[in-house]
Structure 1
Amino acid sequence: MALSATVHTFTVQLADVDRGVYQDLELRVARHPSETAEFMLTRLLAYCLEYEDGIAFSSGGVSSTDEPAVLVRDLTGRITAWIDIGAPDADRIHRAAKLADRVAIYTHRDPEKVLTPLTGKRIHRAESIPVFSFDRSFVDAASAAVERRNTATVSVTERELFLDLNGTGFGTSIEEHRIS
């Protein structure tokens, strides 16, 4: 018998001063049995940091090869932003960059280990694709605080991220890298 996803609920107060985005969010995040808590937290943070009209978690979940973990669709249903998590391969990023107007990658891993396999590979508009990383100790500590029902405040100012998760505060810089 296959294991089913665990659903986590997040009540999030988002204050992204850098982008002028202030929003209260009620999110249900399904965590696939093969998904780590760190990956799920990175997926949640990417959703918050990319928040705009039309944003959604992909319908296929983390196991989908046709869609990213987070995406933005316009009113016609076309994908306008492809937001991937972790360490996607060059072929996936290349296809994403041809499909969507904007591509971004968020990782909870060492950014060099994400970027090195992509160096020199054929990736459409590679120079325009940001790779955002969070400090590993931040991700480890914050993911340990995730429960089934969560209350969070996500604040961003000058690419500094502060996360209050269930009454425990965490902070880190959002580092931006580029594919070369």
Structure 2
Amino acid sequence: MALKSTIYKADLNISDMDRGYYADHSLTIARHPSETDERMMIRVLAFALNASERLAFGKGISDTEEPDLWEKDYTDAISLWIEVGQPDDRRLLKACGRSEKVIVYSYSHASDVWWKQMNSRLDRAKNLCVRNIDSNISQELALLAERTMQLQCTIQDGQVWLSGGDRSVQVDLETWKDF
């Protein structure tokens, strides 16, 4: 019998002063049995950084044809495709062909090695952005994970803070490739 996803709930309050986006989102997050708290919280962070009324979690790990998050327009065309981790170049180039914009949030201690291998292969992808989160920060984010979460994300002047309970994490994003 296959293991089922664990359901997490998050009430996420976003104050993004850089984009002028202020909203509350009630998220239902299906955590795949092979997914860690760290990866799940990077998905939540990616949601907060790109939040809109049409942004939704994809099937991610359990479906190779869907991203971790995506935003579709009213014609069902994909306007934003978001991957978490270290996807291979073929997957990213395919995503770039299917979507207006693609963003990767890499977070592992081996991310720099992955990016050195991918950089030249992905140079032609003009609609691709790659951002890295230091592995120490991603591990701190994992400590925010609870089955029911009350989270606050504040974004101002490129600085990002994600808070939950009595814990707050400042997230520094390093941009390796921009649109």
Instruction: Provide the TM-score with structure 2 as the length reference.
Output: 0.92
Equivalent AA in structure 2 for residue 154 of structure 1? C
Give 4+ residue runs of structure 1 displaced > 4 Å after superposition. Answer: none
Measure the CA separation in 2 of the matches of 1:75 and 1:44: 24
Counterpart in 2 of 1:73? Answer: 72
* SS at structure 1 position matched to 2:139: helix
Measure the CA separation in 2 of the matches of 1:7 and 1:61: 14
* Residue correspondences, number: 177
Counterpart in 2 of 1:95? Answer: 94
Compute the displacement of 1:145 (Å).
Answer: 2.7
Equivalent AA in structure 1 for residue 5 of structure 2? A
RMSD between superposed Cα atoms in Å: 1.6
The 5 A counterparts of 1:1-180 are 1-58=1-58, 60-110=59-109, 111-121=111-121, 123=122, 125-178=124-177
* SS at structure 2 position matched to 1:103: strand
Change (3 A) 1:93 1:124: farther
* SS at structure 1 position matched to 2:24: strand
Compute the displacement of 1:120 (Å).
Answer: 2.5
* SS at structure 2 position matched to 1:101: strand
Measure the CA separation in 2 of the matches of 1:80 and 1:144: 32
Tell me if the contact between 1:127 and 1:178 (Cα under 8 Å) persists in the aligned partners: no
* SS at structure 2 position matched to 1:177: strand
Compute the displacement of 1:127 (Å).
Answer: 4.2
Task: Report Cα offsets for 1:10-55 as digits up to 9, x if no partner.
Answer: 0111011111111101001010000111110111111111112321
* SS at structure 2 position matched to 1:84: strand
Task: Report Cα offsets for 1:61-98 as digits up to 9, x if no partner.
Answer: 42211111000000111111111110010001111111
* SS at structure 2 position matched to 1:126: coil
Measure the CA separation in 2 of the matches of 1:56 and 1:104: 14
Compute the displacement of 1:154 (Å).
Answer: 0.5
Measure the CA separation in 1 of the matches of 2:127 and 2:72: 20
Measure the CA separation in 2 of the matches of 1:113 and 1:160: 25
Q: Greater CA deviation, 123-132 or 63-72?
A: 123-132
Instruction: Provide the TM-score with structure 1 as the length reference.
Output: 0.91
Measure the CA separation in 2 of the matches of 1:124 and 1:173: 24
Measure the CA separation in 2 of the matches of 1:130 and 1:146: 26
Equivalent AA in structure 2 for residue 87 of structure 1? Q
Tell me if the contact between 1:98 and 1:124 (Cα under 8 Å) persists in the aligned partners: no
Task: Report Cα offsets for 1:127-158 as digits up to 9, x if no partner.
Answer: 44211122222211221231100000001112
Q: Greater CA deviation, 108-117 or 145-154?
A: 108-117
